[in-house]
Structure formats: structure tokens, C-alpha cells
Amino acid sequence: MNRGSAMADARVSVRKRSVPLRPNSVSATGNGDSAPTSVVSSIAVTPASASTEALSGGRRRSASLLADATARTMAATASTTAATASKPFAFENPNRLMHKYIARTPRGSSWRVPNSRLTPATANAVDAYWAAWFACPVEALRPARALVLPHAGHEGYNGIYAMTFGAEPIISVPRGRLSELTPRLRVWTAATLRDSAQALESLGEPAREAVGPAWLGYGDAGTFRAEALPRTARLLGDADASSIDALRDACPPVEWEHGGSRLGRDPVAGSFAEEAAGALAALAGYEVWGERLAHIAVVAHPAYRGRGHARAAVAAIARHALEQGLVLQYRTLASNTASRRIADSLGFEPGATSLAIRLR
């Protein structure tokens, strides 16, 4: 499965993946536009209560201190207003701005896909990552109607990134184009994300290219279904560098761009073709997104596909990630049936659908 690409244009902590994969390739592909780790920011305004501390030292200067504190508060408020006036949208109070879009859930509950075997801790870890990425409350990940927000930690990306976690979509757009795009995007539903042609048509001229839809699956120790690893699969080290280079040379560049891993930077595992003097038949690795998500990528040698090597490599690297206490994430184009079969066979549970639209 791939690490991601189109959103890779704006990626903060995950390497760039910029070209969508052929849908029938064994190499897993993200929806093309990969999600970077973002930092949630907020607007700070000097509180009027600052005057209370100042006044507690004595009453003789209370009048002047109160006047100074009030003036500072008014100046800070005016400065904040001026700074945000030119922007089409500002999170002065996210809950107040979003309340009519959010599908409320009981306090303390977490998302649960029907019949999902994921633990609440796993579900909460997934929610925490994506809420930070969209810079929104966790409840906003599952709005009652399409929720359109400005890009948070990826403002340089000239595109739209939309996800549905089982409710209506949450959509991130360039801040400077929020006013232009919001009326067109508010009519989107979860079904729109599964139909890229419909999404492009609804946007009209601003849309350049759709990447996706992509399927995102998640796994933990309770869902993982890997029997004893075949003897052909193991973690790789420095001694395997030449085998990895040979596999890279055998794969089409676009497939390696999406599914390849680099020894020394990512934890990597491989499966070897015994019938070919031990040639590396498949390679899988993962990058850590946020604090808990192990985002898995896999690529297979064109000559050894359909023989279980990609599944064996994913199983080996997934086991390593679980031993590190991480949550497994596997993303692939929804149309990539070979990659989906790998995910299903190893116990990945459906978690989300994503779609990226690159803009003109």
C-alpha cells in the first residue's frame, strides 16, 4: 500500500508521493494525496482577567492599572480582528462554528464501524491523529453534513482533501479559496467521495485532477490475522541493501515511488523467492504518522506477483509495528483489488474513504 502522494505536495513529515499508481498493481497506493502530520494552532487574545492580578497588589493604583489592562485587551482584540479580517474563515470558536454540522455522539464514546473488531483505544488513536491533521474537534470528523475547513498544517497544497469516517465528509481546502469552493463542496456526501467523476463535475473549472478514492484500513493486535510467517519473510538489514536495489531496478518507477521503502530510514521487511536464488520478491515498510499510526507501504517484483510474497512482507512488517505498540494503517486505491485482498486477509478493518482533488 502506498505512502501517499498528491497531498505529498504539502506533506510536513512524510515523504512525497506524487503520481497515482496503476489500479491493478500489487504495489499498494494511497489515494495519491497523502496526509502530513499537522500542528493545531489557535488564536491567543489577552484576557481581560489580567487586570485582576494587577489590582490585587493594592488599591491606590487600581484605577490606572484597570485602564491600562483594558487598553491592552482592546488593542489585542483589535489586532486579532485586523489580522483575521482578510481571511475568509477563522476558528474563533470551532465548536460554535461547527455545531450544526457535527453528528453528536455520547460522551466518552468512540467511532465504531459496524462489526469492527478494533479496540476503543485503537479507534481513539486514529481519531486523535486525524483530528489533529484537520485541526478540528474529534466530533467534527463525522459531521451530519459536509464540513469544509481551511488547510491546517499543509497550507501550501493547492488541492482539496476529503475523508469520510462513516458519516458525511470532512473537507480541507486552501485557505485563500475557502469562499470560492465552500458552496460547491457543501453539497458533497459520502457517496461523492466514492465517485471521482461526480466530484470533478460538481467542482467544475477549478478542478484539475482526482486522485482516489482510496480505502483506509486499520489493525491492531486483536484484528491481525497472520499465522506463523513463511520462511521466505523476515526483517531486512544492511546486508540486504543489494537485494533492495535490485528490486527497485525491477519495478516501474511510479510503483517504487508509491510503495518502495528505503533501508536505514524506515523499518523494512521482505519476502524472498526461493526458486530464483533468493531474489527479493516483495518489500514492505512503514512510517510513523503522528505518535501511533504505522503507515504501511508495499511493492512487489513484477516477476513474482500472485505468489503471496507481498502479503508475507506486509505480515512481517505489521508484526514489527505491533511489537512497537503502534496502530496499523493501510491505504490503497479502492480499485486496487489485489492490494485490498492483502489487507482483508491480514485483518485490516475498514476505517475511512478519502479523495483528493488537485486544483488549477
Express each pLDDT in 3-27 by its tens digit. 544 444 333 333 333 333 333 445 5
Residue 345, C-alpha cell as written in the block? 486477509
134 and 255 co-located in one domain: no
Given 173, 196, 213, the domain boundary residue is 213
Beta-sheet strand order (sheet of 147-150): 147-150, 170-173, 159-164, 349-359, 207-219, 327-333, 293-300, 279-289, 268-273, 233-235
H/E element, 73: helix 62-85
Residue 94, C-alpha cell as written in the block? 470551532
H/E element, 67: helix 62-85
How far is it, in rounded angstroms, from Cα 82 to Cα 112? 42
How far is it, in rounded angstroms, from Cα 215 to Cα 231? 30
pLDDT at 28: 64
How far is it, in rounded angstroms, from Cα 186 to Cα 259? 33
pLDDT at 274: 81
How far is it, in rounded angstroms, from Cα 306 to Cα 279? 16
Q: Is 181 exposed, middle or buried (0-12, 13-18, 19+ CB in 10 A)?
A: buried
pTM value is 0.73
Consecutive 10-residue runs of the chain (360 residues): their mean pLDDT?
45 34 47 42 30 37 43 42 37 42 47 72 96 95 96 86 96 95 96 97 95 96 88 94 95 89 91 84 96 96 94 97 97 92 96 96
194 within domain boundaries? yes
148 within domain boundaries? yes
- Give the closest residue to 256 by CA, choosing from 37, 15, 13, 33: 15
192 and 305 co-located in one domain: no
Given 196, 213, 230, the domain boundary residue is 213
pLDDT at 112: 52
pLDDT at 156: 85
pLDDT at 7: 40
85 within domain boundaries? no
- Looking up residue 226, the CATH number of its domain turns out to be 3.40.630.30
pLDDT at 266: 85
67 within domain boundaries? no
58 within domain boundaries? no
159 within domain boundaries? yes
Question: 279-328 pLDDT, tens per residue?
Answer: 999 999 999 999 999 999 999 999 999 999 999 999 999 999 999 999 99
159 and 254 co-located in one domain: no
173 and 226 co-located in one domain: no
179 and 239 co-located in one domain: no
63 within domain boundaries? no
pLDDT at 89: 36
226 and 329 co-located in one domain: yes
13 and 29 co-located in one domain: yes
pLDDT at 113: 54
Beta bridge partners of 358: 159, 209
Domain count for the chain, please give it. 2
Residue 194, C-alpha cell as written in the block? 466514492
143 and 127 co-located in one domain: yes
131 within domain boundaries? yes
308 and 258 co-located in one domain: yes
How far is it, in rounded angstroms, from Cα 359 to Cα 101? 25
Q: What are phi and psi of 95, to 5 degrees?
A: -65, -40
Confirm if 163 and 320 have CB atoms less than 8 A apart: no
* Full residue range of the structural domain in which residue 22 is found: 6-34+220-352
How far is it, in rounded angstroms, from Cα 296 to Cα 314? 8
Q: Is 187 exposed, middle or buried (0-12, 13-18, 19+ CB in 10 A)?
A: exposed
Given 184, 213, 242, the domain boundary residue is 213
pLDDT at 219: 97
228 and 342 co-located in one domain: yes
166 and 270 co-located in one domain: no
Beta strands in 131-278 (DSSP E): 147-150, 159-164, 170-173, 207-219, 233-235, 268-273
224 and 206 co-located in one domain: no
